[in-house]
Amino acid sequence: MARWEPNARLRLVQAAIDLFCEQGYDSTTVAQIAERAGLTKTTFFRHFPDKREVLFAGQEEHRRLLAEGVAAAPADATPLGAVTAGLDALTASFTPEQREFAPRLATVVAGHGELRERLAFKELDLAAALADALRERGVPDPAASLAADLGIRAFSAAWGQWITPANSRSFPALAHRHLAELHRAATTLT
Amino acid sequence: MARWEPNARLRLVQAAIDLFCEQGYDSTTVAQIAERAGLTKTTFFRHFPDKREVLFAGQEEHRRLLAEGVAAAPADATPLGAVTAGLDALTASFTPEQREFAPRLATVVAGHGELRERLAFKELDLAAALADALRERGVPDPAASLAADLGIRAFSAAWGQWITPANSRSFPALAHRHLAELHRAATTLT
């Protein structure tokens, strides 16, 4: 990243979320986001292909962190143990800045059909990354894709709680609790 | 449906799949589909909003059949027992015509990113319908959404086998087998 644009990516995300909340997602242009961030449109497009992707900036890094966490789990870890290691690697990466804008980001996404669809694809994509990493450890299908699905469900549920103002628990603690609850539920299906 | 257009819906689906296979999805227009079916563009738009939706014509009926099947399951059915009843109601509805064009439909969808996304949304939508029907029976979350997810995974896997030329098994038998396999896999996660 160029020296004269410190934190450009984070500044663009924060500016976009501010503007989406103030004047609506549809009414906000890339030029306005760049201006609010004190940057140029050219800089914007160096970081993001369009205004929608600003809200899903972390997807590639999230994929990588999940896969690395699963790969680094002990050799004798169960499938859900490896998923837990993946979630831990991911949730440890969240910063106070992300916690700060997350509730408004969630509000913007929830209020717009196209963004909800994009979020559903992000979740499918992360589940696919988790399942690939489990298969690399020798977990067969369909167990690998089921374990991955439980992991992403636990992540989503934990995220929803982590961003509430009243929450005081850590993201990893919330994710562990939801994964355990999902696994219990899976044993009640017959 | 008007008397002078017998089977218009099915004829449009078959014409669309023929043309998509012959000349590609992107190169095919609604006017060409209507002409191939011996119908007018006006008739096309009475049945479908656009050429993409021709390939996902059954979604509303599939939702309804799944929900009705779940609702009609015996009161003491387990969550997966109720899912099985939903899948049975759905798979019993498939016709020889659908079996005939299904392999080409699958090929068209697999070859086009936008259509694969649309299929993923159909699956999320059907899973949501199944989960709603389970909640109406008193199945709590997250068990309801997990059981629904297993159901749709079993449906997709069974569909993939059902449409292979070599397959001689019934759709319900394939769906039961995949659901049982998924359930077994869910017990191997820890």
pLDDT in tens, A76-111: 999 999 999 999 999 999 988 888 899 999 999 999
Q: Of B78, B156, B121, whose CA–CA distance to A186 is shortest?
A: B78
Model pLDDT, residue A3:
46
Architecture of the domain whose range is B8-53 = Orthogonal Bundle (1.10)
For chain A, the domains span 8-53, 57-186
Name the DSSP letter for residue B139. Answer: P
- Alpha-carbon span B101 to B78, nearest angstrom: 35
B179 to chain A, closest Cα gap in Å: 11
Structure tokens given for B94 = 């498939």
Model pLDDT, residue B115:
93
Tell me which fold the domain B57-186 belongs to: Tetracycline Repressor; domain 2 (1.10.357)
**Identical fold between B8-53 and B57-186:** no
Residue ranges of chain B whose pLDDT lies below 50: 1-3
By CA distance, what is A140's nearest residue in B?
A: B185
Model pLDDT, residue B4:
59
pLDDT tens profile A3-30: 456 799 999 999 999 999 999 999 999 9
- Alpha-carbon span B153 to B132, nearest angstrom: 17
Q: Of B119, B147, B122, B117, whose CA–CA distance to B132 is shortest?
A: B147
Interchain pair A182, B81: CB under 8 A: no
Nearest CB to A78 within list B149, B186, B190: B190
- Alpha-carbon span B148 to B131, nearest angstrom: 5
B166 φ, ψ to 5°?
Answer: -75, -15
Interchain pair A142, B185: CB under 8 A: yes
In the three-class reduction of DSSP (H, G, I as helix; E, B as strand; rest coil), residue B129 is classed as helix
DSSP code string of A106-168: HHHHHT-HHHHHHHHHHHHHHHHHHHHHHHHTTPPTTHHHHHHHHHHHHHHHHHHHHTSTT--
Interchain pair B190, A183: CB under 8 A: yes
Model pLDDT, residue B67:
97
Contact indicator for B108, B55 with CB cutoff of 8 Å: yes
- Alpha-carbon span A55 to A70, nearest angstrom: 25
Q: Of B168, B171, B122, B176, whose CA–CA distance to B151 is shortest?
A: B176
Model pLDDT, residue A4:
59
Structure tokens given for A19 = 């503007």
In the three-class reduction of DSSP (H, G, I as helix; E, B as strand; rest coil), residue A74 is classed as coil
| Average pLDDT over every residue of A102-129 | 93
A157 to chain B, closest Cα gap in Å: 10
Residue A175 has pLDDT above 50, yes or no: yes
Nearest CB to A189 within list B79, B153, B189: B79
Interchain pair B189, A149: CB under 8 A: no
